[in-house]
């Protein structure tokens, strides 16, 4: 990339609002004074938008009010003027049916917030699952200087001398509760020890995966993604990000200068080495799509096959994000993968990934393992194809019981989540641990919003016999904190007539993870006969955002973005009259 000349005041985008000698500009300046700022406070300074995904319903971002103040301090220190812009907070736990339904909503909102306000650069405050991809999608589309401030993980959970990981261990204890092995009081004590501080889930779930990916893409300050949310270093990182974005504006360093096909390959290598969330694949495809880069499931699989999982962290391993930080964090982990990463890629520092790794070390080999002693010999996620998923599906192989990696068993089919809920614990359900549980109509459109229902519950009668894993197939997603032999993101989904819709109870299902295959043993002519007899389910949402979403969302293998946000001409800058 050719060296850019530093911007001058008159080049700043915000000057369109504040600069001209006209009535509108007078009005903009007068209204800034209305908020208690004098002309000297904001005249001649880059205006920095701070997109804050704080709310009382985002439990993982409860420190964001404070962090926004620290970012503002940094912006002021560097000679900028901060403008905080609240956006939909998408707290993973409270938003129903799924934050995935609203990822694109936040992406659109953030894009429009940036477009319609007098900002020259933006700080993106995210962390809880969908907030990271949504904010990156918006920043890429607008292509103003942008830096991402990750929320950081919460502290380790504790119960009865044992460390607890969000999601992963509550799911494990809940299985024990359903099996009658623990009582309500014990369960409540587990709940009490799970979430000890602000911050995201502290296992390698979607939040930790996406924060790590954002850093790998070069969109954060070095080391930012591994800092626990309540560590004082996190506040320092927030202030430093505020200082840095002001310089990025003068340098005109934009996402399009940073994000390349090679940086997305780097992100995929890291995702695999972390044993990252299966959700990362959908999000990476969507984010890359906004950069005009097409990522395919095949590319993920190619990288997966040559990248070992070297981070021993739940749900694939045993440690937690706090341990990862003490072990050297993402920078430490990257030093083990220099042979696979393109370290020439640029970052928000203006330097390269190689520059970011200077002085990085691994301090605890048992957490960040050497390449010759990996947790798993290839990447955490595998891509499968076959007549059930003609456009692909995914499995987190590291979180699956190895005895199911090659498996043949009869399908037990549920025609939607309500059917699953109603029958899964029915004592009369004809199911064994060799059965394959199949959930339909839970995909991007069918659910809608592709909720994290993919870790289908083990039937109670099998739980009581000690069964803790089975093969499960669905067109929905699974929490990055979850585990088990769960085949996810089947595309095309049942709602649009994918072959998943045609599977019936009793069909034999063949899973072969090493061979990357997933098939139903159904003759072609029988499949065709079933297709002719199949009728689409009515979609109950006819108004509002959900109707818009259902008309335009793409399938999982395409990233589930809205098609009209991908394609088409650029939206022009707003006229200022």
Residues in contact with ligand FES by CB under 6 A are 60, 92-93, 128-129, 166, 200-201, 205, 207
Q: What are the structure tokens assigned to 255, written together? A: 């996402």
CA dihedral defined by 230, 232, 236, 242, rounded to 10 degrees?
30
CB of 366 to ligand FES, least distance (A): 25
Q: What are the structure tokens assigned to 516, written together? A: 């990357």
Q: What are the structure tokens assigned to 332, written together? A: 């430490």
> How many C-beta atoms lie closer than 10 Å to residue 85's C-beta?
18
Distance separating alpha carbons of residues 109 and 114, to the nearest angstrom: 9
Q: Of the two residues 205 and 498, which places its CB atom closer to ligand FES in the complex?
A: 205
CB of 231 to ligand FES, least distance (A): 17
Strand partners, 368: 311
Q: Of the two residues 206 and 260, which places its CB atom closer to ligand FES in the complex?
A: 206
CB of 127 to ligand FES, least distance (A): 7
Q: Are 469 and 400 in contact (CB under 8 A)?
A: yes
Nearest to 306 by CA among 259, 353, 366, 371: 371
CB of 200 to ligand FES, least distance (A): 4
CB of 480 to ligand FES, least distance (A): 8
Residue 456, classed as helix, strand or coil, is coil
User: CB-hemisphere CA count at 13 Å for 487?
Assistant: 34
Q: Of the two residues 311 and 509, which places its CB atom closer to ligand FES in the complex?
A: 311
Distance separating alpha carbons of residues 358 and 226, to the nearest angstrom: 17
Q: Are 337 and 303 in contact (CB under 8 A)?
A: no
CB of 128 to ligand FES, least distance (A): 3
Q: Of the two residues 314 and 407, which places its CB atom closer to ligand FES in the complex?
A: 314
CB of 412 to ligand FES, least distance (A): 30
Distance separating alpha carbons of residues 375 and 379, to the nearest angstrom: 10
CB of 201 to ligand FES, least distance (A): 3
Distance separating alpha carbons of residues 50 and 125, to the nearest angstrom: 7
Q: Of the two residues 86 and 410, which places its CB atom closer to ligand FES in the complex?
A: 86
CB of 227 to ligand FES, least distance (A): 15
CB of 89 to ligand FES, least distance (A): 10
CB of 536 to ligand FES, least distance (A): 33
Q: Which residues make Cβ contacts (< 8 Å) with residue 88, sequence separation at least 6?
A: 53, 102, 105, 106, 109
Residue 47, classed as helix, strand or coil, is strand
Q: What are the structure tokens assigned to 113, written together? A: 């917030």
Q: Of the two residues 56 and 77, which places its CB atom closer to ligand FES in the complex?
A: 56
CA angle 144, 147, 152 (to 5 degrees): 150
CB of 527 to ligand FES, least distance (A): 39
Strand partners, 384: 393
Distance separating alpha carbons of residues 225 and 208, to the nearest angstrom: 8
Distance separating alpha carbons of residues 401 and 433, to the nearest angstrom: 12
382 CB-contact burial (10 Å; exposed 0-12 / middle 13-18 / buried 19+)? buried
Distance separating alpha carbons of residues 146 and 162, to the nearest angstrom: 40
Q: Are 148 and 131 in contact (CB under 8 A)?
A: no
Q: Of the two residues 207 and 458, which places its CB atom closer to ligand FES in the complex?
A: 207
Q: Of the two residues 283 and 346, which places its CB atom closer to ligand FES in the complex?
A: 283
Q: What are the structure tokens assigned to 298, written together? A: 């095949």
Helix (H) or strand (E) holding 412: strand 406-414
> Which residue is listed with tokens 């894993």?
469
Q: Of the two residues 127 and 374, which places its CB atom closer to ligand FES in the complex?
A: 127
Distance separating alpha carbons of residues 72 and 250, to the nearest angstrom: 17
CB of 331 to ligand FES, least distance (A): 22
Strand partners, 383: 394
Of how many residues is the chain composed?
577
Nearest to 300 by CA among 20, 559, 34: 559
């Amino acid at each position: 990339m050719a060296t850019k000349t530093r911007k001058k005041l008159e080049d700043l985008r915000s000057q369109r609002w504040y600069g001209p000698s006209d009535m509108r500009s007078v009005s903009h300046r007068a209204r800034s004074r209305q908020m208690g700022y004098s002309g000297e406070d904001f005249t001649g300074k880059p205006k920095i938008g701070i997109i804050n995904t704080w709310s009382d319903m985002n439990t993982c971002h409860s420190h964001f009010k404070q962090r926004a103040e620290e970012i503002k301090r940094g912006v002021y220190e560097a000679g900028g003027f901060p403008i905080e812009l609240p956006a939909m907070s998408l707290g993973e736990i409270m938003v129903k049916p799924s934050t995935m339904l609203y990822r694109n909503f936040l992406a659109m909102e953030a894009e429009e917030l940036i477009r319609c306000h007098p900002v020259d650069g933006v700080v993106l405050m995210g962390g809880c699952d969908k907030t990271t991809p949504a904010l990156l999608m918006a920043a890429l589309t607008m292509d103003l200087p942008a830096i991402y401030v990750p929320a950081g993980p919460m502290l380790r959970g504790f119960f009865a001398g044992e460390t607890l990981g969000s999601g992963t261990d509550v799911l494990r204890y809940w299985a024990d509760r359903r099996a009658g092995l623990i009582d309500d009081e014990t369960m409540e004590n587990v709940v009490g020890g799970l979430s000890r501080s602000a911050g995201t889930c502290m296992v390698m779930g979607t939040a930790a995966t996406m924060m790590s990916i954002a850093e790998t893409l070069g969109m954060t300050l070095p080391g930012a993604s591994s800092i626990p949310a309540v560590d004082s270093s996190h506040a320092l990182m927030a202030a430093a990000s505020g200082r840095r974005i002001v310089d990025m504006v003068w340098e005109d360093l934009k996402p399009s200068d940073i994000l390349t096909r090679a940086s997305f390959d780097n992100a995929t290598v890291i995702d695999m080495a972390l044993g990252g969330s299966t959700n990362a694949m959908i999000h990476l495809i969507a984010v890359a799509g906004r950069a005009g880069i097409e990522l395919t499931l095949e590319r993920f699989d190619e990288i997966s096959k040559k990248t070992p999982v070297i981070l021993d962290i739940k749900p694939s391993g045993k440690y937690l994000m706090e341990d990862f930080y003490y072990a050297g964090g993402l920078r430490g982990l990257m030093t083990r993968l220099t042979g696979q990463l393109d370290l020439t890629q640029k970052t928000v520092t203006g330097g390269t990934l190689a520059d970011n790794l200077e002085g990085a070390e691994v301090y605890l080999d048992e957490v960040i393992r050497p390449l010759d002693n990996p947790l798993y010999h290839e990447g955490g996620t595998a891509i499968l194809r076959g007549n059930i998923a003609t456009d692909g599906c995914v499995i987190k192989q590291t979180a699956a019981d190895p005895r199911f990696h090659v498996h043949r068993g009869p399908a037990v089919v549920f025609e939607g989540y309500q059917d699953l809920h109603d029958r899964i614990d029915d004592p009369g359900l004809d199911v064994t641990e060799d059965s394959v549980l199949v959930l339909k109509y839970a995909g991007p459109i069918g659910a809608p919003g592709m909720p994290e229902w993919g870790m289908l519950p083990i039937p109670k009668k099998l739980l009581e016999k000690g069964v803790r894993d089975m093969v499960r197939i669905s067109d929905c997603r699974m929490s990055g904190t979850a585990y088990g032999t769960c085949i996810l993101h089947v595309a095309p989904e049942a709602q649009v007539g994918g072959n998943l819709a045609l599977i019936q109870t009793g069909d034999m299902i063949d899973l072969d993870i090493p061979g990357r295959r997933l098939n139903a043993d159904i003759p072609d002519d029988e499949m065709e006969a079933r297709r002719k007899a199949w009728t689409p389910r009515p979609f109950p949402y006819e108004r509002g955002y959900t109707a818009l979403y259902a008309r335009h969302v793409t399938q999982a293998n395409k990233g589930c973005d809205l098609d009209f946000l991908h394609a088409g001409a650029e939206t022009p800058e707003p006229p200022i009259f």
